[in-house]
A and B are shown apart, each in its own frame.
Chain A
């Protein structure tokens, strides 16, 4: 390597390094900045991409509708690949840009755990709609976490309610066997405490069957299921693990209508290729299912896609994970809107102000209808102590080519049962971290 080459590579290096230095924010940001952590590559891309598309399409829709009280939204994607360290790097890179990040939504339980430590320092709220730490529902301890719409504990509780209903009452749960086939990570382990607690309460057995990342090897798992013949199988997977589980269930002859998935195991990529083989399989729905007929979806098609500004493909709009992303995005935007009510309409909100907004979120049916979410979801109301806002869940069933709501009625998680567990777990966390939970007086601030 001669000197010229050396000099060339050195200058290239400097060039590259300068591109690293984050562009410092202009003094007063005019736009609300939404960083978007996504994964469009890697093992979980098939599930991460529609979520990201929905998330961004909604932001585009808000802009097309004129912004949040006139404040335009700017956004930027950062690829995490579902890896915690990449997620943290993205967070560090984006948190200070463009006048500061509004809210982070990592779509990964691992990244959520890591960011939970960082968010309070940087004063940026963390929305984890339908994932994350279940005990973070307690806003007194987890000031910056918002597991809006539901946590895994809610999911586990409703799943058992559903099984009980199918059996004709909780009394019949006694002596039954329920197998949990779960992704061997913090995500998959979240429901275990609730299931075990419920098992003690109602007298059913919980069989735990972990599946190692990424979940393509499940033969032994399903052989065990064939051996023990549990009455129900609860599937707690993500990505390819879900479709593999269904294929294995098919090839070991386990009845699919006795299988129930969490809401992350209830989208099109999970069942599409198994098609007929997954018929009868049910999954929890985080309020919404696939909603091609919702008004908001039609708006996106007419105001975003018709202008050629769509993020993904048109066919995908309205699918389950797309809607999940869209809803997550909407909740963030509504947090900003609520914050503006207090801190000044038409102004750019800081993370701290948005946190207040999210904490005082009150989306009633009328607001939802006006935004085009009629029939998609139920009203959400958060408070300082309850960062979840709603614990209603629906159940959907795959009929061989699309998801259908098998039962029109809604299920609500048993708050009386879950709340003490949340308090206990969050109390333990507070003690570990030497945090002082907020008192009701502090909440009013």
Chain B
């Protein structure tokens, strides 16, 4: 009833090709953005910012990056953590070594460096595909882990190999309290998501999808696999690297290579697969699911036990958390292999017909 598109006529090509062709979608998105930018900073407390919202925003950004590579271009990667690390450490080095470089520039340069490294580690994708490629990308993961642990130059010769940043500001805007950090990340995510959405709708995105669907056929119709694959690696790594820089600078402020370990790579791949391959929205859903679920379980289980008068030990809670988390993932994959984004679009489909489905 509410969600119906009759009466909305498209009279220009531009109107026909806009990101959200349905008016209700546009209003919803606008509403969500308004809530995110205005209502949340006013209402939410510090814990939610620091422990959930900021990680969610940053990991969403990274998940969008991974989704570009895995979902749009069909190249499975298990090395996303590595590119986050490259982004974070590169941004750190730009930040401390070039006096007076604005924070934004350092972060974006971190992303660019990561893109370059992504191209290098993307080269095997020209020969290797599928699961072989997935494992091959682990090479990038372990290699960067080692590089940032072992080569002191990257960590400014700090004896422990751990680095930290402080006094962050963008054009006089101090980024030190949770709200400013949240807004900073939110701005990044909004711009980058828009960028990604548009990129996947234009020529390059179509090339990626052609390569994903059948690379030989794509080659036959004149798409250069070299360019398409490596550009996907570069763009993806740029996103992931930028997210890495934000993770280090904004979320942790002090980090070591373990912050970007292979577990992070798995986590990111989880996000895009649970969220939905080949959708920008799905990356956000996936990130929300993976970030929030363990924390909710961790706090919800003792409360649940309390209701039934059982006191669950800390170890018991984390075991149960593992079991339920794993179980839910399997459940989701069985019930909806195309991810939460598919649920979302099915929901919209239903809503169109509601309340008279027949």
A433 adjacent to B346 (CB under 8 Å): no
Residues of A within 8 A of B258 (CB): 83-84, 110, 185, 213
Which residues 154-169 in B have Cβ within 8 Å of A in the complex?
Answer: 159-162, 164, 166-167
Of chain A, the residue at the smallest CB distance from B322 is: A41
Of chain B, the residue at the smallest CB distance from A89 is: B51
Of chain B, the residue at the smallest CB distance from A135 is: B159
Cα of A21 to Cα of B51 in the assembled complex, Å: 11
Cα of A220 to Cα of B47 in the assembled complex, Å: 45
CB-CB under 8 A for A186 and B296, given A40-B314, A79-B317, A210-B150:
no
B53 to chain A, nearest CB (A): 11
Produce 1/0 per residue, A227-250, CB < 8 A to B. Answer: 000000000000000000000000
Produce 1/0 per residue, A191-209, CB < 8 A to B. Answer: 0110000000000000000
B259 adjacent to A84 (CB under 8 Å): yes
Which residues 115-137 in A have Cβ within 8 Å of B in the complex?
Answer: 116-118, 133
Residues of B within 8 A of A6 (CB): 347
Residues of A within 8 A of B45 (CB): 21-22
Cα of A232 to Cα of B346 in the assembled complex, Å: 67
Q: Which residue in B51, B167, B252, B314 is a CB contact (below 8 Å) of A93?
A: B51
CB of A342 within 8 Å of the partner chain: no
CB-CB under 8 A for A114 and B252, given A79-B298, A92-B47, A92-B50:
yes
B166 adjacent to A117 (CB under 8 Å): yes
Which residues 24-47 in A have Cβ within 8 Å of B in the complex?
Answer: 38, 40-41, 45
Of chain A, the residue at the smallest CB distance from B166 is: A433
CB of B38 within 8 Å of the partner chain: no
B48 adjacent to A49 (CB under 8 Å): no
Q: Which of A12-20, A60-68, A345-353, A394-402 contacts B (4 or more CB under 8 A)?
A: A12-20
Interface size class of B (residues with CB under 8 A): 35 or more
B254 adjacent to A116 (CB under 8 Å): yes
Residues of A within 8 A of B161 (CB): 185-186, 189
Residues of B within 8 A of A133 (CB): 160
Cα of A49 to Cα of B314 in the assembled complex, Å: 10
Residues of A within 8 A of B167 (CB): 433-434
B159 adjacent to A184 (CB under 8 Å): no
Which residues 111-164 in B have Cβ within 8 Å of A in the complex?
Answer: 145-146, 149-150, 159-162, 164
A49 adjacent to B159 (CB under 8 Å): no
Cα of A6 to Cα of B340 in the assembled complex, Å: 12
Residues of A within 8 A of B253 (CB): 114, 117-118
19 contacts between A and B (CB under 8 A): A16-B300, A20-B295, A38-B314, A78-B314, A79-B298, A79-B315, A84-B258, A85-B55, A92-B47, A92-B50, A93-B51, A109-B160, A133-B160, A185-B256, A186-B256, A189-B159, A432-B164, A433-B166, A434-B166
Residues of B near any A CB (own CB < 8 A): 45-48, 50-52, 55, 145-146, 149-150, 159-162, 164, 166-167, 252-256, 258-259, 263, 295-296, 298-300, 303, 313-315, 317-319, 322, 343, 346-347, 350
Q: 12 other contacts beyond A85-B252, A92-B50, A109-B160, with CB at 8 A cut-off?
A: A22-B47, A77-B314, A79-B318, A88-B252, A92-B51, A93-B51, A110-B256, A114-B253, A116-B164, A116-B254, A189-B160, A432-B166
